Structure 1
Amino acid sequence: MEKLLLLLLFGHISEAEKHSLKFFATVSSGVSNVPEFIAAAQVDDVAAGYCDSNTKTIQPKQDWVTDYFKDNSQQQLWFDKQCSVNQPQILKTILHYFMQIFRHDKGVVLQLRSGCEWSETSGQVAGFMKFGFDGEDFISFDMSTLTWIALQPQAVSVKQRWDADRAVTEANRNLYYQICPTLLKTTLTYGKSSLLRTDRPSVSLLQKSSSSPVSCFATGFYPNKAVLFWRKDGDDLHDNVEEGEILPNPDGTFQKSSDLDLSSVRPEDWGKYECVFQLDGLKDDIITKLDQSVIRTNSVPVPPSEFPVGPVVGGVVGLLLLTACICGLLIWRRRVHGYQRGLEVDTELE
């Protein structure tokens, strides 16, 4: 039953044909050593573009993004304006609005995570938008009801003001059900040779010491729709197993680990255990038997290309994305009529 649930959750057809366009941005006040405004975009969880208050221009992170801008030079100019002027001003206004509510005067950060998902199989579209303030979720937009959800008591008044503006609600509906999916499909056209590929990982068994858990470590795989788990005698294991998250590698591929505690396992039973890796696009599972002779420990150096960089690189990238929000690629602008008016969005291109 557990294996069946895994197949339903990570099936090769449905999940492999589900795509996403995500935007992250952050604006801060009184925070030193970081740009005041940071923005990033991801397509299928792969970094596509970046800009901040220092660069003030879109920095493509993939060759196919560069190709898109070559064919759409006016779009690049428009995006640059969004990143250098429009979006920083919008988010600064919202930040100061929230600062008034919380009575903060410095050292705070506003975050926004936004975007859309599109199923190539069913055509279904889903959008999402959530504001965070000072490290905590504050308010989000419910796409099913087209209303705001207050995630903190202080957000209730904001919800009431933003819900009352039906023009903004309609703009959000159009943004996440029309504009964002269209942009997502366009980027998939340019990036399909890269985004729709399948990269087979290398899988290793690692152990710090003889008393440490054995880590099954898979790296270099793509896409990120993968499952890594331990089995004993053909049955999935959950006890004494600590599963890690899927983390990005610097080259755009992904890595994942799963640790098995062997403290209560008899040496003669090791042969009953195996690590299983499943990836959308790969026909066969990658199975690694638990064998002392193949385990790499501190006494057997791991080649740099296979070193688990996730705790370092993944942590840095995760921090950036956690503290980030929407960038200018979301085709909308702000018309401000005082803090009391809240947020107004206009999705028309200038």
Structure 2
Amino acid sequence: MMRDVLLLLLGAHLAYAGTHSLRYFYTAVSGISDFPEFTMVGLVDEGQFMYFDSNIMKAVPKTEWMRQSEGADYWDEETQIGIGIHQTYKVNIQTLKGRFNQTTGVHSFQFMYGCELHDDGTKGGYMQYGYDGEDFLSLDKSSLTWTAANPQAVITKVKWDSTRAETKSETNYLENICIEWLQKYVRYGKDTLERKVSPQVSLLQKDPLSPVTCHTTGFYPSGVTITWQKNGQDHDEDVDLGELIINEDGTFQRASTLNVKPEEWKNNKFSCVVEHQGKTIREILTEDKIKTNYAPFPIGIIIGIVVAVLLLIVIGVAGYKVYQKKKGFKPVNGSDDGSNSSAHTDPKA
């Protein structure tokens, strides 16, 4: 189960298109004694740049470029936002437990919001709530209304739809203020966020009878395509494409497994084709190209999985399946006046 949630989470994080993106994840959890009640995580281009939780009660930078670019006033304001939202979310999660007739067990209330800016100047923004791994509410910017995913969410929808001025303010945040902050953060971290690193490609096999995996690692940005060819033709059958995983250094890795018997790939010409940033790398599948791991599992994969697990813990997602194919997020209230913070406060459900 932990592995499934991990892969779904990473898929959700890394599947979004767009040149640059700014996103926030707010998560409240109840029923877990050794886990923070509330976490707030900010990401630029899939990389975490700030963090707050209800145990440390302090917002902290997670990149050197943020540490060097923003002073004490910024982090004090982020801390106050986190403290305020923590209290609101404690109320919200209890309110929703009541609506769903729940008294015990582990429950989560999550809010995500953000924006993205593409090469051609187009931009997008999204706000969405989830409860216990299912859709709850999402913002429809075109109608300035909220969409309820279940009967329990209708009460909140009616309440929030009645404050149209606030919804306009939220839409303005997504379309303008969020973009301004995104551009500022990209300037701060330009050397890191706009770097281009080509992938390292390896063919891996656990033992002579196992499927062969085409493993790519160390690439940035995250967009990579991995396909297989058989005798010069695209081969889509018997192929399992893995999720993107973040490496310790902020680069990415991804793998594609060819599930055919050894005699088939030995009697045909199979190739793994990797495309990244306009560059194509082709590895022809032959026995001498395969790296076996009768010995230790490749260290790059281990590090990536460890970091991914840490990311999962940091974000504090419980039952995150709802977001696997979604584009969503949002804070539902707060100042849109271009103050020192790019995060938002949040209203009661």
Q: TM-score, normalised by structure 1?
A: 0.82
SS at match of 2:185: helix
Could you say which residue in structure 1 is the equivalent of 2:35? 34
Aligned partners of 2:290, 2:262: CA distance in 1, in Å?
A: 18
SS at match of 1:266: helix
Aligned partners of 1:312, 1:145: CA distance in 2, in Å?
A: 42
- Counterpart residue type for residue 26 of structure 2: A
Could you say which residue in structure 1 is the equivalent of 2:181? 183
Could you say which residue in structure 2 is the equivalent of 1:160? 158
Q: Does 1:294 align with 2:293?
A: no
The offset of 1:94, in angstroms, is 2.2
Could you say which residue in structure 2 is the equivalent of 1:249? 247
Q: 1:174 to 1:93 in 2, by over 3 A?
A: farther
- Name the stretch that deviates more: 159-168 or 236-245: 159-168
Could you say which residue in structure 2 is the equivalent of 1:4? none
SS at match of 1:255: strand
Q: Does 1:333 align with 2:345?
A: yes
Q: 1:250 to 1:43 in 2, by over 3 A?
A: same
- Counterpart residue type for residue 169 of structure 1: T
Q: Deviations over 1:91-118 (max 9, x none)?
A: 2232222222112234321111211111
Could you say which residue in structure 1 is the equivalent of 2:64? 63
SS at match of 1:28: strand
Aligned partners of 2:257, 2:232: CA distance in 1, in Å?
A: 18
- Counterpart residue type for residue 314 of structure 1: A
Q: Deviations over 1:52-102 (max 9, x none)?
A: 1122222211111112213xx32222112112x212122223222222211
The offset of 1:17, in angstroms, is 6.3
SS at match of 1:162: helix
SS at match of 1:56: coil
Q: Does 1:274 align with 2:286?
A: no
Could you say which residue in structure 2 is the equivalent of 1:5? none
Preserved CA contact (<8 Å) 2:59 2:76: no
- Counterpart residue type for residue 29 of structure 2: S
Aligned partners of 1:79, 1:134: CA distance in 2, in Å?
A: 26
Aligned partners of 1:211, 1:334: CA distance in 2, in Å?
A: 54
SS at match of 1:245: coil
Return 5+ residue gaps in structure 2 as ranges: 1-15, 321-328, 335-340
Aligned partners of 2:229, 2:207: CA distance in 1, in Å?
A: 22
Matches within 5 A, 1:71-150: 73-83=72-82, 85-106=83-104, 107-122=106-121, 124-150=122-148
Could you say which residue in structure 1 is the equivalent of 2:256? 258
Q: 1:104 to 1:277 in 2, by over 3 A?
A: same
- Name the stretch that deviates more: 325-334 or 140-149: 325-334
The offset of 1:164, in angstroms, is 1.6
The offset of 1:184, in angstroms, is 0.5
Preserved CA contact (<8 Å) 1:23 1:330: no
Q: 1:191 to 1:52 in 2, by over 3 A?
A: same
Matches within 5 A, 1:221-236: 221-236=219-234
SS at match of 1:317: helix
RMSD: 2.5
Aligned partners of 1:153, 1:209: CA distance in 2, in Å?
A: 52
- Counterpart residue type for residue 332 of structure 1: H
The offset of 1:310, in angstroms, is 4.3
- Counterpart residue type for residue 81 of structure 2: Q
Return 5+ residue gaps in structure 1 as ranges: 1-14, 336-341, 344-350
Aligned partners of 1:222, 1:208: CA distance in 2, in Å?
A: 27
- Counterpart residue type for residue 344 of structure 2: W
SS at match of 1:173: helix
Question: Percent sequence identity over matched residues?
Answer: 34
SS at match of 1:35: coil
SS at match of 2:311: helix
- Counterpart residue type for residue 176 of structure 2: Q
Aligned partners of 1:168, 1:274: CA distance in 2, in Å?
A: 54
The offset of 1:312, in angstroms, is 4.5
- Counterpart residue type for residue 273 of structure 2: V
Q: 1:330 to 1:187 in 2, by over 3 A?
A: closer
Could you say which residue in structure 2 is the equivalent of 1:317? 311
Aligned partners of 1:196, 1:227: CA distance in 2, in Å?
A: 19
SS at match of 1:285: strand
Could you say which residue in structure 1 is the equivalent of 2:323? none
Q: Deviations over 1:274-323 (max 9, x none)?
A: 1111112xx4211111011121123355553x345444542453465444
- Name the stretch that deviates more: 61-70 or 36-45: 61-70
Aligned partners of 1:239, 1:265: CA distance in 2, in Å?
A: 16
Q: How many residues align?
A: 315
Aligned partners of 2:53, 2:188: CA distance in 1, in Å?
A: 24
Could you say which residue in structure 1 is the equivalent of 2:51? 50
The offset of 1:131, in angstroms, is 1.0
- Counterpart residue type for residue 278 of structure 1: E
- Counterpart residue type for residue 308 of structure 2: G
- Counterpart residue type for residue 200 of structure 2: S
Preserved CA contact (<8 Å) 2:126 2:330: no
